[in-house]
Structures are given as C-alpha cells and as structure tokens.
C-alpha cells in the first residue's frame, strides 16, 4: 500500500507543478512507466470489480452511467456481436460529463471478427493508409495477402524484416481524414464498412444517441513502442455527435485531460473489447495514449481473445465466420500489438461541406501527419509511427 500511495503522490506532484504542461509531464511519466510496478498504481481499471464498488486508485472519480437499454434490441446487439445492453456495465468520471466507458461488452469470441476486419479487410484499397506515402497503390493493394505467411511463421524467425501489415500505422474509412489540412472533404470518400456502421449505431443508441451515422473512421495500429500524441478531435463539422472508440489486443494506458494542457489528465486502462464514448463536454478534451502494455505472460493474447468465434451465427449477423488460418495470423499480430477503431459522424443532418478553394482540394491527404501526432511532438515520436522504422 505504501508504494502505491507514494506513486499516487508522485503523480499528483507532477500534475500540480505550476507553469508547466501538466498533461505532457504525465504523458512522459506513463510512457516511461514499468508494468508490474507501482508506476501504474494511479491508473483506473474499469474492468476490475473494485471500480464499481468505489475503492481502488482513482475510484473516487468513477460514477455509474445509465444506458438506454430499450434503444437496442437483444437481437440487434447479438447481430453486432454484443451482449444484451441490459448486461453491460457503463461508467463515467466526475468532472468529465459526456464520457462513458464500457468494459468489454462483446459476446465471447466475437472480437475475432472485428480484429480480422481491421487486419484483413479494412486495410485494403480503396481505403487509405500511411504506407501510401511510400508505396504505389499496386504495392499496398492487399496487405493481408502479402503479410500472412510472414506472420504465420513469425515465431520461427523473429529476426525477419517486418511485414507490411506490421508497418501499418493508420487506415482511414468513409470520409478520409486529411492529415495535412486536418479536414474532411466531400470529394475524398469511399463507402463506409456496413458492419462497422451497424456496430457503431448500436453502441451510440445504447448511450442515448439515436440516429448516429458512422461517416468516418480512423484505425490506429499500435506496436508495443507506439504512442498516440496529445490531441483533440475537432475536425468533424458536427461536434454534437459522439466519438466512439473500440480497443482490441494488448492493453494500453489512456489519458483524458481538460480543455487546456495545464489540466492534469486522468489515467485509465484500455483492455481488449473496451469501448469509450466521448460526447458533450468531453468530446473536445485533450487525450492521448502514452503506453501500450506488453502481456504479463510474455507473447500471449488477452484471455477474452482465447475463446473462438461460435460457428453458429445469427442468420442476419453482420459478423462473419473466421477461419483457423485467419485467426492464426491475427494471433501472431496481436501478441505484440493492439488495434483501435474510432468512428465519427462528420456532418449534421442535412449539412453539407463548405466550398473549399481549388488549391485546397488538390492537397494530397497522405503527405503529412502520423496518427494524430501533436504539432509539437518530437522527431523521435514521429519516427515511432513512421512505416519505414
């Protein structure tokens, strides 16, 4: 208890030092943290039973969130691979109105589909990825096919060069985010995946956002040394709709701060299957991921990913079967990685994009930026998300 109290005290001291960027100080602290030590003593774990009982680190901030159980039928939840909403646990944090954390509401085995989609389907053209800056469209046409044999035999040859799938850092869906201008546009759009749209609509409805439209997605692919810099998601034209975040694979630390960086953030774990919803006041808060945590058991998957996807799926399910061969590739990848899907509604109902100057339309969306990296991020951080690294 003494070591944990000391760590909580040191975190509070870092955050309270005047005249400095409190968020960045804690970002650096957690980036250098040592898993399995008291360094993580102040990180909230929503999946632990004590979070609901009001004990444990940071639990004084944790409150229960009410869900709109009647807005999603059990059948529609099952179609998306989710438990009935009545069985979900949902939490919020004092001081962060509009923030909702839902610890893994997926049915056993159903995360397999979403992991496979991120690696096998969503990474394909016409979707856009970070590798497009360095390679031709023909070379990035099917990253899965080019990488699966490397990943299947990864254990036998750990010194081999990384496959293209392992060099993937981000993929954009729907309205493709322009990392250079930090905008979306009507003329750079590809159809949003229908299965992910359905999943997002059910989660949004359960959180009280009926009529949510999944129009844009950014998928981030993290290695164990990856970080997500401090940023605010404000490029969408309608901020009244929530930002949905789905996490799969190895656990990570998520920092949620305030409107300014001199406000110390709250640290929490994101485990595989966890969902975060940022709406209202929390929709425009600073946030970041300073650390991806290696599995305590070495190269292994989280327990919730060990259960296979059931063979008997609902007839109208958006979830598709996953072969053993495909899951073997996914398993090899996820042992040292995590994937995060963020889904947004860009436009309000009946809203159109404003007219852009001609020269703005000509800018190449793949020429700048890496995974929401902050403008003040160091070159070291940029290198960590560079596909050539």
- Domain range summary for the chain, segments of one domain joined by +: 22-344
The pLDDT of 95-101, averaged and rounded, is: 96
pTM: 0.87
- Provide the pLDDT for residue 212: 96
| pLDDT value of residue 20 | 66
Contacts 24+ apart (CB under 8 A), 188-195: 188/365, 190/126, 190/127, 192/216, 192/217, 193/117, 193/121, 193/122, 193/217, 194/318, 195/80, 195/113, 195/117, 195/318, 195/319, 195/320
Which has the minimum average pLDDT: 13-22, 195-204, 212-221, 242-251?
Answer: 13-22
pLDDT at 162: 83
pLDDT for position 176: 95
Cβ pair 61, 91 in contact under 8 A? no
Give the pLDDT score at 101: 98
Our measurement of the distance from residue 388's CA atom to the centroid of its chain's CA atoms, rounded to an integer in Å, reads 22
Q: What is the pLDDT of residues 45-57, one digit of tens each?
A: 999 866 655 555 5
339-363 average pLDDT score = 79
Q: Where does the pLDDT of residue 152 fall: very low under 50, low under 70, confident under 90, or very high at 90 and above?
A: confident
Least trusted range by pLDDT, from 53-67, 96-110, 138-152: 53-67
Buried (b) or exposed (e) across 236-270, using 16+ Cβ within 10 A?
bbebebbbbbbbbbbbbbbbbbbeebebbbbbbbb
**Residue range 260-269: mean pLDDT, rounded:** 94
Over residues 319-334, mean pLDDT = 94
- Beta strand 91-93 with 287-292 is unpaired
DSSP string, 290-342: EEEPPPTTSS---GGGSSPPPS---TT-S-----HHHHHHHHHHHTTEEEEEE
pLDDT band for position 310 (cuts 50, 70, 90):
very high
DSSP per residue, 180-198 = TTTB--TTSB-PPPHHHHH
pLDDT given at position 205 = 98
pLDDT number for residue 141: 86
pLDDT of residue 382: 37
Position 355 scores a pLDDT of 78
Q: Name the DSSP class of 247.
A: E
Residue 191: per-residue pLDDT: 95
Output the pLDDT for position 383. 35
Which phi and psi angles does 23 have, rounded to 5°?
-65, -50
Residue 389 CA: distances (Å) to CA of 161, 339, 381, 385, 386: 11, 18, 11, 7, 6
**Residue 299 has what pLDDT?**
76
Q: DSSP secondary structure string, 91-151?
A: EEETT-TTEEEE---BPTTTHHHHHHIIIIITTSTTSEEGGGGTS-TTTTS-HHHHHHHHH
Q: What is the pLDDT of residue 23?
A: 94
pLDDT of res. 357: 62
Alpha-carbon gap, residue 371 to 386, rounded angstroms: 10
pLDDT exceeds cutoff 80 at 200: yes
CA distance 188 to 90: 36
Classify residue 89 as exposed, middle or buried by CB count within 10 Å of its CB (0-12, 13-18, 19+).
middle
Give 266-280 pLDDT, tens digit per residue: 999 999 999 999 999
Please tell me which residue, 18 or 69, carries the higher pLDDT value.
69
The pLDDT, as a whole number, for residue 361 is 45
Ligand-binding annotation for 233, yes or no, is yes
Please tell us whether the domain made up of 22-344 is placed in CATH 2.60.120.590: yes
Mean pLDDT of 11-20: 57
Residue 389 reports pLDDT greater than 50:
no
Q: Which of 117, 170, 163, 113 is nearest to 143 (CA)?
A: 163
What does the CA dihedral 7, 10, 16, 17 come to, rounded to 10 degrees? -160
- pLDDT surpasses 90 at 298: no
Indicate the average pLDDT of the chain.
85
| pLDDT at res. 289 | 97
Q: Which of 10-19, 180-189, 267-276, 380-389 is least confident?
A: 380-389
């Amino acid at each position: 208890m003494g070591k944990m109290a000391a760590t909580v005290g040191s975190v509070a001291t870092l955050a309270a030092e005047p005249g400095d960027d409190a968020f960045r100080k804690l970002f650096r602290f957690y980036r250098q943290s040592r898993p399995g030590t008291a360094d993580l003593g102040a990180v909230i774990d929503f999946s632990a039973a004590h979070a609901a009982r009001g004990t444990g680190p940071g639990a004084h901030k944790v409150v229960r969130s009410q869900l709109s159980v009647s807005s999603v039928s059990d059948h529609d939840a099952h179609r998306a691979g989710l438990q009935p909403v009545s069985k979900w646990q949902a939490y919020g944090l004092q001081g962060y109105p509009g923030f909702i954390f839902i610890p893994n509401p997926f049915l056993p085995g159903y995360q397999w589909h979403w992991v496979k989609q991120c690696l096998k389907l969503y990474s394909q053209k016409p979707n856009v990825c970070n590798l497009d800056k360095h390679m031709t469209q023909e070379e990035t046409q099917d990253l899965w096919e080019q990488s699966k044999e490397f990943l299947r035999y990864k254990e036998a040859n750990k010194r081999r060069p990384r496959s293209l799938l392992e060099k993937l850092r981000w993929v954009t869906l729907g309205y493709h985010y322009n990392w250079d201008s930090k905008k979306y546009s009507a003329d750079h759009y590809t159809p949003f995946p229908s299965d992910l749209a359905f999943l997002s609509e059910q989660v949004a409805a359960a959180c009280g956002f009926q009529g949510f439209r999944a129009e844009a997605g950014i998928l981030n692919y993290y290695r164990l040394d990856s970080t997500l810099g401090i940023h605010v998601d404000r490029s969408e034209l309608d901020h009244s709709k929530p930002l949905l975040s789905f996490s799969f694979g190895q656990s990570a630390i998520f920092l949620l701060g305030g409107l300014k960086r001199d406000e110390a953030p709250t640290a929490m774990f994101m485990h595989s299957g966890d969902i975060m919803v940022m709406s209202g006041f929390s929709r425009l808060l600073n946030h970041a991921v300073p650390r991806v945590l290696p599995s305590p058991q070495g190269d292994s998957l989280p327990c919730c990913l060990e259960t296979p996807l059931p063979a008997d799926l609902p007839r109208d399910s958006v979830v598709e079967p996953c072969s053993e061969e495909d899951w073997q590739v996914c398993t090899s990848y996820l042992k040292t990685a995590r994937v995060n899907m963020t889904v947004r509604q860009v436009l309000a109902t009946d809203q159109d994009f404003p007219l852009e100057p001609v020269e703005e339309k000509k800018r190449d969306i793949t020429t700048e930026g890496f995974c929401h990296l902050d403008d003040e991020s160091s070159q070291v951080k940029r290198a960590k998300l560079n596909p050539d690294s």
